[in-house]
Chain A
């Protein structure tokens, strides 16, 4: 607790905690629909300064390993502060390590901007396949919000993919595939398998006042020219123009519950002092770890809170090619994908499916540091073989909810004033079988594309972008934290608007769905208030 009297602010109608994709989409939608509302968003971190992003400097490669690493733990270890107000996450008992950004824009600041939707079947996996749970609503109910989110965020892609229900024309044409993508596509063609250019929240042409991507490569250290969509550039300027107040560097300490309702939030302000902000509605949108941490620290008594943590278990398969490919050129996560094996096939021995994604190559330093050994003459040989001559396929499996996979609090008090947080996550046998199946398929396609040698990484631990399920939606308060409108069963004016809500995870990246959920929850609340 900071010294001095508490700074008390006039009560507001809606108080949001977290300025990432879910919180930003929620705020803009609500402000648009009910302009008279006073809406405030508290964001623990700050705004990035695009004039000083590492991709414009000589040491951009090492920035990605330290102050601009995707892991908050690595950023903290670097000792260099950025706009991301990180907290340590005890992850020694988690097979997958968490990645995120804790500032305005949330993890859209350092994401790859791969922007797929869930499939209709992903919302009904219990009914269709007898595993997991069904969402409280289906694809059709979310579809208008997917469409709207596509326009707000700006999506480059190509309509007509037979793996999905028909989508509206994408706002921008697809990103170029490059030699790497074209070569990989040849492998899928040779096998007669599905492939499609990705939906990417990256401008392929100038869009909404932001420039087209110039294929510089390192999307994960922030986008200098604003081509990669992030909510500090998309939703937030518009939400602020609509009257939403965004308070940066404001760290929520506790959501205060009185008489079964959220009364407001106690937070540490940018001035270092304690603040109190009362509100008629409080919305938590701090991602699947941050939201669970705050709600647990606030004493929300919900048996499913923090449980059912889902990532997307991932493996990599790398194929080596004699011909020269692009190297680390183009948006890192965005070339092509295949949903040949996305839907359940009982013959595979596991329910649900996998997502195969052809990604771009690592920067030279990252490529060199992952080699075994990373030094000596042998390393040179491997690097010469791989750099600009390899294609990586990411195999991503659907993670099913399991109560033992969880976010919980530790006994320690962290520097941000909140209890420490830890993850317990074990890879299930089903996920392992899914990944093994996907690895075999990825090797097949790389061979078909002309790879002469294959390397496999059976589980990639540093892939924990997708922090899902820890305050999941459902009908039963014993097994879910919120209802289908994001309302906490235990406090109906306390809402959640981020990936924590996911009842199940599908096998694709969640950003598009998080944005759509934020819009939908904003719309639902607007209808109630208006």
Chain B
């Protein structure tokens, strides 16, 4: 399939942020983040062909404006939800595992282990709050 078409599908699904909240990097679009549909095009033929058909041809899709491209994807999602879910199942994991995306959302790109995360232990002030709960007395029922 046409690389421009595949890129346009990715970047319509994941358009990136024009403006990020203050103090954080903006989310990149899918293609710059490294999402590439080409290796998956064969297994996603039916949904990609439906998108191309709805656009009137592969080359028309990237040429359309964002609103039109979004409307096309929405209609294909309505018509073939399972196939569209498979498309998302390819695109979203690649995107949300990309370091630039993780970092833009305030998360680290390193895996959970071996670093883990630091969380302070329960302190005395928290334990003291449970005195209120205890002072309410027994809550459980006898079994007889």
Contact = CB atoms under 8 A, between A and B. Distances in A.
B117 A365 contact: no
B142 interface: yes
Nearest to A57: B111
B139 A343 contact: yes
A9 interface: no
Contacts of A364: 96, 102, 105, 107
A250 to B, nearest CB: 31
A62 B97 contact: yes
A163 B126 CA distance: 18
Interface string A370-400: 0000111100100110011000000000000
A396 B60 CA distance: 50
Contacts of B88: 369, 374-375
B116 A387 contact: no
Contacts, number: 161
A158 B27 contact: no
B42 interface: no
Nearest to B107: A364
A121 B140 contact: yes
B144 A214 contact: no
Contacts of B111: 55-58, 60
Contact of A215 (B97, B116, B136, B139): B116
Contact of B118 (A56, A215, A342): A215
A215 B97 CA distance: 20
Nearest to A195: B133
A376 B95 CA distance: 13
B70 A376 contact: yes
A327 to B, nearest CB: 7
Most chain-B Cβ atoms within 10 A of its Cβ — which of A57, A164, A165, A364? A364
Contacts of A217: 112, 117
Contact of B112 (A196, A216, A374): A216
B143 A384 contact: no
B117 A374 contact: no
Given A61-B93, A62-B97, A224-B113, A329 B119 contact: yes
Contacts of B106: 327, 387-388
A467 interface: no
Interface string A24-67: 00000000000000000000000000000101111111100100
A121 B141 CA distance: 6
Interface in A111-162: 119-121, 123-124, 127-128, 138-140, 158, 160-162
Given A120-B142, A120-B143, A375 B92 contact: yes
Given A177-B122, A364-B105, A368-B96, A225 B141 contact: no
Contacts of B109: 58
Contacts of B54: none
Contacts of B129: 185, 189
A306 interface: no
Contacts of A138: 143-144
A214 B116 contact: yes
Contact of A119 (B70, B89, B140): B140
A214 B102 CA distance: 21
Contacts of A173: 121-122
B80 to A, nearest CB: 15
Contact of A59 (B70, B97, B130): B97
Contacts of A176: 119-122
A120 B140 contact: yes
Contact of A189 (B13, B132, B143): B132
A160 B92 contact: no
A330 interface: yes
B17 A121 contact: no
Contacts of A57: 111
B21 interface: yes
Contacts of A388: 105-107
B141 A343 contact: yes
A132 B115 CA distance: 47
A65 B142 CA distance: 43
Given A55-B112, A365-B96, A375 B139 contact: no
A197 interface: yes
A213 to B, nearest CB: 8
Interface of B: 12-15, 17, 21, 27, 70, 73, 88-89, 91-93, 96-97, 102, 105-107, 109, 111-122, 126-127, 129-130, 132-134, 136-144
Interface of A: 53, 55-62, 65, 119-121, 123-124, 127-128, 138-140, 158, 160-165, 173-174, 176-178, 182, 185, 189, 192, 194-197, 204, 213-218, 224-225, 326-327, 329-330, 339-340, 342-343, 364-365, 368-369, 374-377, 380, 383-384, 387-388
28 contacts: A56-B111, A59-B93, A61-B97, A62-B97, A128-B141, A139-B143, A140-B143, A161-B133, A162-B136, A173-B121, A176-B120, A176-B122, A177-B122, A195-B133, A196-B133, A214-B113, A214-B114, A215-B116, A326-B119, A329-B117, A364-B105, A368-B92, A374-B92, A376-B70, A380-B17, A384-B105, A388-B105, A388-B106
